[in-house]
Amino acid sequence: MDVHTFSFFRLRNFAAFLFSAFLLAVPSAAQVTIAQLSDTHIGEKKHAPHAADNLRQAVQMINDRRPDAVILSGDIGESLQAWQEARSILAGLKAPLYYAPGNHDVHSHDVDRYRKGFGKDYYSFQVKDVTFIVIDSELLANIDVFDARTPQPLPPETQEESERMISWLESQGAADPGKKEDKKRKHKDESPSHIVIGVQHIPVFRDGDFPRDSKPYWVINDPYRSQEMKALHDLGIKDMLVGHWHIGRVFEKDGITWHVAPATSWLPMGGELGFAMHSISPDGKVHTEFVNLPDARP
């Protein structure tokens, strides 16, 4: 090999080294891993006498998986004392924890009680490059009466709270710089510049004919359904993390994939006790795994 050839190979290797160093220096979007607990129902003695033990097991298993954050999507406990017990158990989590209220936490008239215990009932938070929008679904449905056959109206004071939350939800898009860029994408397969995922307790739709019980208790009904879906679509939300059904399911409806986490407490409609693990890729795709609690007792 002559001197010129040798110098060429040295120069090429040096250029390759510089390119590799550049790639390492440029920040890239990373996968986000979220653990989702739901329907822990601490203090529910009749249906879930082992709820606290099951939650302790879930906390240990979640810590072993080292998620970036943990979400508890509602029905935390049955009383103020149960809330305290739940928070004591959940203090063992090593990842940041975010709450969304459920219908056992907030009824049609007592949202202030929840706010005193847990803070805001609707808000947003950030995990790496992903924004999560937490919604209080109990401001979108009066399901105080389990056996009601028609949707019940919200009390006037709660209706005012509902309108404030919807206005807040609609305003979230105005402050999102990535939203305008997403609308400029020429091809559907281009990655979104900003990923937004919604979180609430009650799903907006049924999964086909599930739950088979047709009571309005199981989903958000109109007029709130239409108002919420418009806001979700305007925000570009493609995935919602929900609970309420106590059974793990993933289904698509109205342009959104609904990821229903299983309960750690009890099984009114079958399935397995456990929690959900969501892996969110840099292009916004959400993969959900349901993790069973091997030693759980309903």
Locate the domains of the chain by residue range.
30-292
11 falls in which pLDDT band (50, 70, 90)?
very low
Residue with tokens 């969110």: 280
The residue that leads in pLDDT, 186 or 121, is 121
Q: Report d(CA 109, CA 142) in Å as an integer.
A: 9
Return the percentage of the chain with pLDDT > 90, whole number.
Answer: 81
Q: Report the SS3 class of residue 69.
A: strand
Query: Which 8-state DSSP code applies to residue 174?
Result: T
Structural tokens at position 266? 């009890």
pLDDT value of residue 61: 98
Q: What is the pLDDT of residues 149-200, one digit of tens each?
A: 999 999 999 999 999 999 999 999 865 545 444 444 444 444 455 899 999 9
Q: Which pLDDT score, from 0 to 100, does residue 30 have?
A: 76
Radius of gyration of the chain from its Cα atoms, rounded to whole angstroms: 22
Nearest C-alpha neighbor of 44 from the set 256, 268, 225, 251: 268
pLDDT for the residue numbered 265: 98
Which of residues 51 and 24 earns the better pLDDT score?
Answer: 51
Report, as an integer, the average pLDDT of 93-104.
98
> In the sheet where 274-280 sits, what is the strand order?
97-100, 69-73, 32-37, 274-280, 286-292
pLDDT over threshold 90, residue 124: yes
**Strand 286-292 vs strand 69-73: parallel, antiparallel, or unpaired?**
unpaired
- The letter for the amino acid at 292 is N
Please list, in sequence order, all residues whose beta carbon lies within 8 angstroms of the beta carbon of residue 144, skipping any fewer than 6 positions away.
107, 108, 152
Per the prediction, the chain carries an average pLDDT of: 89
Identify the residue with better confidence: 11 or 129: 129
Across 209-271, where does the E strand assignment appear?
239-242, 249-253, 256-260
Residue of 233, 284, 287 lying closest to 129 (CA atoms)? 284
Q: What is the pLDDT of residue 10?
A: 54
In the predicted structure, residue 51 carries a pLDDT above the cut 60 = yes
Q: Looking at residue 175, what is its pLDDT?
A: 54
CATH superfamily of 30-292: Metallo-dependent phosphatases (3.60.21.10)
pLDDT band at 2; cut points 50, 70, 90: low
